[in-house]
Chain A
């Protein structure tokens, strides 16, 4: 199963972290740091797999990563995720990940659940997100007058 999904910028700042197994916060932070440390050291044209080390929580874990600049199916899952983000944010960039953490988590939740693949059909995911956005919009409109009153 998928144990965690992480996104970093090139300086090692985590922009998304989602763990599918209960870990203490310390362990999570340690894994996040360890992952970046390992991945950032690797050259462009080596393979995209790294095998279990203490830094990423032990020898049972395998790290599958992609530079943006897997198992192959997981490798491409990363790609689907990025493509979906791209569709949802129209050319996704780091700032989107920063300012819309909740949305990113939402999109991820439509793809992966409890460490297992939920949906890989991008259109399906985007439709779901659309529905949620409409809900959000309608709620926001109904909220507008109240907010003004409060101010």
Chain B
């Protein structure tokens, strides 16, 4: 028998629906609806009191009209009246109307709340269910105020029916989402956790959802749920497919509940060893089941099975602690990459993306590169291709960067418009990040502009110019390459911008070649001039005046151009002003002045790639961005978003007659870096505050990382799944400055983000650190920067500790790493001749002054690497000093505030034994000792 009895409905409603369906046109439908609306309105307004049945019927008609997509602006009161009926059908229609049509801000809420209160107290499970549903549907703050205290009681009361418990759990969850402050934690929480043991799996499912959300904000309160969830999961996973009866879905036992339990476990770090063993067994069983032949050919069977599998893999990735499981997960996903089911390929690509960031599985993920590239080329579905791009980006490292970048470039030629900009950003970032050879980088970016010029945002072309200006080894190549690229009959305006800028700076480097003589360069650029927009033309005018300085022989030609009416009387104020000023400058200024004014751009200060910042901003929690989104975002940028406006284009396009020429012409196209984190109050943090009690043990691997920084100043100090800490530092004499960059790798905010610098009591008198607090909120994907000013008072041995605390998705995170501020950073190299060296060497012959260490080589014994390390260490590397050319000697002075300490060092490699002997001589024993320790660890 069908459960719904079709015959007992409302006849009037059925007639009305049939009428609507018989309407031949949209107009007829609207007419019929308006007629009905008028009828209902008159009935509601009429003198005669309507009985419950009629009221129900009319309210139901209104609901139907609303669902057809028409506005309904009356009938709410009648619906509210239905709530207090004793008849189920009337009450139900009343509640339905309210759930669908009443917004949380309705004035009727008080009346509705009253009716709900009565139903909740009715002890009739059906009525209670309706009331709870209504609360969950509307979920307004007023409702939370009225019921947030009441529902936990209903939820944990011993005599509550199962179905009501289920509803109460989800209802509470909804209220917690809208108004978490109104849901008080209390005794009930421990009883809710025990619902995980409930006999009724429906209750367990609802409770798991509730606990998962609550645990994110109150991890402590709910931590006992971990062991209960594991044992529940274990029982499900090991049950025979018939054990759970109705909760078995196409031979898969309780798939939805399993997924929810696995999600709950992702709120917590890996559990204690006892529970962990059991959980590992569960996860292994799930992985094993994936290999078993399917119990049914139905897609529902494999969907359910795989849903559990994917969630299990997510948990494995979340824990990121069992290399074995991680690699198995990766292999499983690898199988799915080739599966004929598109959904599985999509999900496998997505999961692998997170897997790629785990150090245990990064290599395993990389083995699938060919499959992923193939997916990029052959998948018919844009959702899947998008995932493939993401995964390629995630698995990219130095070893495969050229291949991946090349594939992305070739995909770009045919990529969907909606994802082009994102691919452009990704290619630009990878090319920069993994460039060993900067000519490759320049080629890649120019290719990007050629293939997808429209999608190359300002940040990308600013960045290539920054890099070319900062690296003199690539300038000649860049000039040659842009010159060649500009030969194309049609080239993108972005190329003209890059070309103009680079030739203006470095055109002289290729001017010797008659094929790119100054005049040819100028004519080439000028041939594009008239096709370009005003900002580009303004940029080109600056290039021209730079040419006047670089190539005196083209000065008359350029002056003619500047003098022409189309420049001097240009309708655009900015262009006109530039023409006038440049012309005047070229006429009155002497060569010396020209040379000074139009000098080559100084290097840009190194900072975080603005492209990366842009990608991070672009990439919200999800990865596909609609074209419209992109456009909107662009326009926000142009209108001066939160970032400081880039100096170049926006300044160029703003007519500002008072702006001085240099400010305009020579304005470096400095891309907007991430806004400097502004310490809220500007108060100095007490860096020596005694928060040491909460400091986490040093992160694993931090020793290695620390050692890596002894000979270099920049790089990534720490990285886990959530957080990346990067450093850039500079030292001069006894002072230093360190920039610490905290990158949020997730899409979720970090809250209460508090980095603290800790100097032990021993270290404190020797080293002064000063810094300002950072903003306590780090948005998903954002990066904040902290500057530490360092003063070395006297020589020291220990390193300060950087302890970071924050909340992520409700769990408290605590990370501590040693900050690589070491004594050798305050080295100043000293060059000296062989004779001086040995003289001083002998002067320091007191046994306390010498420290020697003989040790086995940990790295290949490469002369060049060793030299680089000694220089990186800070001392001068003295050539031709030691009679044995295989040995290395160095000299330098350690600067501290109180004193300066001369240091000499000698490193003798023994290739046969793969050993080194390192000797340090300084005037102070502790210094010799510390430097010897630090340097020994490097080889």
Contacts and interface: CB of A to CB of B under 8 A. Distances in A.
Interface of A: 1, 14, 16-18, 20, 22, 24-25, 29, 32, 42-43, 45-55, 59-62, 70-73, 75-77, 79-80, 87-90, 96, 98-103, 105-106, 109, 113-124, 126, 128-133, 135-137, 139-140, 143, 146-147, 150
Interface SS majority for chain B: helix
B171 to A, nearest CB: 6
A90 B51 contact: no
Contact of B303 (A60, A75, A89, A146): A75
Given A22-B103, A72-B347, A119 B307 contact: no
Contacts of B103: 22, 24
A49 B626 contact: no
Interface in B590-629: 620-626, 628-629
A79 B249 CA distance: 11
Given A133-B3, A135-B88, A139-B87, A76 B303 contact: yes
Contacts of B173: 114, 116
A53 B624 contact: yes
A104 to B, nearest CB: 9
Interface centre among A24, A62, A76, A133 (most CB of B within 10 A): A76
Nearest to A136: B89
B166 interface: yes
Contacts of A53: 624, 626, 629
A62 B626 contact: no
B67 A76 contact: no
B312 interface: no
Contacts, number: 213
A124 B246 contact: yes
Nearest to B89: A136
7 contacts: A20-B137, A49-B383, A72-B306, A73-B307, A89-B6, A117-B209, A133-B5
B255 A73 contact: yes
B139 interface: yes
A90 B2 contact: yes
B762 to A, nearest CB: 50
B763 interface: no
A75 B104 CA distance: 29
B757 to A, nearest CB: 36
Given A113-B133, A132-B126, A47 B383 contact: yes
Contacts of A62: 622
A51 B383 contact: yes
Contacts of A105: 96, 99-100
B813 to A, nearest CB: 23
Nearest to B10: A102
Interface string B753-767: 000000000000000
Contacts of B100: 18, 105
Given A22-B104, A102-B92, A48 B622 contact: no
B347 A120 contact: no
Given A47-B343, A72-B347, A17 B170 contact: no
B83 to A, nearest CB: 15
Q: State which size class the interface on B falls in.
A: 35 or more
B63 interface: yes
A2 to B, nearest CB: 11
Interface centre among A71, A109, A131 (most CB of B within 10 A): A109
Given A113-B133, A135-B88, A136-B8, A102 B60 contact: yes
Interface in B100-145: 100, 103-104, 126, 132-133, 136-137, 139-140
B202 A115 contact: no
Contacts of B51: 146, 150
B165 to A, nearest CB: 11
Contacts of B53: 143, 146-147
A103 B4 contact: yes
B213 to A, nearest CB: 9
Given A55-B626, A100-B6, A106-B92, A117 B67 contact: no
Given A42-B381, A96-B6, A119-B166, 19 more contacts: A18-B100, A25-B71, A45-B380, A47-B381, A47-B384, A52-B620, A54-B626, A54-B628, A55-B626, A59-B629, A60-B621, A72-B343, A76-B303, A89-B4, A101-B67, A113-B132, A116-B174, A118-B170, A121-B201
A59 B622 contact: yes
Interface in B322-368: 342-343, 345-347
B17 interface: yes
A87 to B, nearest CB: 7
A102 B5 CA distance: 13
A130 B126 CA distance: 12
A131 B256 CA distance: 25
Contacts of B4: 88-89, 96, 100, 103, 129, 133
A50 B60 contact: no
B9 interface: yes
A140 to B, nearest CB: 5
A142 to B, nearest CB: 9
A8 B209 CA distance: 28
Contacts of A75: 303, 343
A100 B9 contact: yes
A95 B5 CA distance: 14
B622 A117 contact: no
Given A47-B346, A118-B170, A73 B626 contact: no
Interface in B1-23: 2-6, 8-9, 13-14, 17, 21
Nearest to B208: A117
B307 A114 contact: no
Contacts of A103: 4
B667 to A, nearest CB: 34
Contact of B624 (A59, A80, A120, A133): A59
Contacts of A77: 256
A99 B209 CA distance: 33
B67 A118 contact: no
B174 A114 contact: yes
